Structure 1
């Protein structure tokens, strides 16, 4: 393979959960730009349809919008089945869908703990499990889980008081490592991306409140932008990462080494 072809994704099919906006849409655009057909799945179908139309028009690939609540196992099963029906294969899964809830750890509601873990951790596992069944038959596949800098370190209350989110992302990191070991013999690469602070719909309120604090903690001196995750997701989705297993690629401006 020529070096310039290592990142080509023509003929590949990718699912991006939570792909209708924010980081998910940014990564979906990157995969489409390199030639992948897409399934964009999120809870609100209207947003998926809008994003699918935009991406298809911009990059000339086929994009299927699907409603999927990743806290519901039946939705995930239907998403993967529909992908196989439309495209006949599944090459790339980006487990991006996620939620958070802020409250002091000593008073954190159990119901919110379960909600966050159900979406962020259990949903990612179920989606990976269902994708595995397809990828195993193909003899190859790429699973990319979205972790977070908050899954690697503890956080003072004034930095991020969202213990369930932080715990779920720590779980994603070890889920990634464990599945990578178990599924490598089937030709399936399982890796993760660990984003830092990006001003998306989910993080913008926290960033607004703590902008100066966060910027002082980021060696690069800035927040992530709309281009910063694209290279990472294309690398982990493409042939360029065929010998990479169980790694957590930090895209955080140096947050975790500060």
Structure 2
């Protein structure tokens, strides 16, 4: 898979940690230049140092309207091109009040949708505006979740999160249809459950391992989605748009 992305310049929103940072390393390994965006300045510094001369890091909040546009402008200024956007930014909204419907708070609903859906709309809008402004095609890859396709009962009954991740799919298919004639491709990766501090106990582990049975049964790894991301960012997917690829260990 070496050099699948030669001469590509890619912006990754949420690219300084987790799935986004793992993808950034895979993109650079495959010949791309990348701009990674994250909220934490220390993570930005570490990412830029580790990724090397083919990368730039920018601090920003993905829910702010100008963050993605500024990252795209940085990509063009530093690398002379902008060819693809990978939106990974998002996250669980439990701390804001997301949960099952009977306990879901309005703040939890609004914050979770902003974090996972509004931020994605803003980055996709900035990318489409950039591509059309340069009169060129390009590729957008969005991050959904297995919970947006095949929701679960406890311990994953976070209804705002599942709603947002399901909406990512509908939104992506809609804009894929609209901009296909302009050679702008929009696709979605839906990863399974990754190990994290929110869901760490024996019951959750047993539940997830029973659903994600590939590779002996395990949580997903950040690197599991790298191959799919490289494919969608490359010219090998030039005739593919509006598609959802699940990387969920067999959950569905």
2: CA distance, partners of 1:225 / 1:182: 33
Deviation of 1:153 (Å): 2.1
Matching residue of 1:132? 128
What is the match of residue 141 of structure 1? 138
Q: 1:177–1:247: 8 Å Cα contact kept in structure 2?
A: yes
Match of 2:63 among 65, 71, 74: 71
Deviation at 1:55, TM superposition (A): 1.4
Aligned equivalent of 2:208: 214
Aligned runs of 1:14-93 on 2, under 5 Å? 14-56=10-52, 61-93=53-85
Q: Is the 8 A contact 1:207 1:214 kept in 2?
A: no
Please show how residues 74-113 of structure 1 align to structure 2 within 5 Å: 74-102=66-94, 103-113=99-109
Displaced runs of 4 or more, over 6 A: none
Gaps of 5+ in 2: none
CA distance in 1, matches of 2:135, 2:42: 32
Once residues 253 and 153 of structure 1 are traced to their aligned partners in structure 2, the CA distance between those partners, rounded to angstroms, is 13
How far residue 81 of structure 1 moved from its aligned partner, in angstroms, is 2.3
Tell me the TM-score normalised to structure 2 length. Answer: 0.91
* Whole-angstrom CA distance in 2 between matches of 1:235 and 1:118: 28
Measure how far apart 1:100 and its partner are.
Answer: 1.3
> Runs of 5+ in structure 1 lacking a partner?
none
CA distance in structure 2 between the partners assigned to 1:68 and 1:212 by the alignment: 37
Over aligned residue pairs, what C-alpha RMSD do you find? 1.7
Question: Bigger CA drift: 243-252 or 68-77?
Answer: 68-77
Quote how far apart the aligned CAs of 1:138 are.
4.4
Give me the TM-score of the superposition, normalised by structure 1: 0.89
Separation in 2, partners of 1:224, 1:160: 15
Bigger shift: residues 134-143 or 108-117: 134-143
| Deviation (angstroms), 1:207 | 4.3
1:114 aligns with one of 110, 117, 131: 110
The count of aligned residue pairs is 244
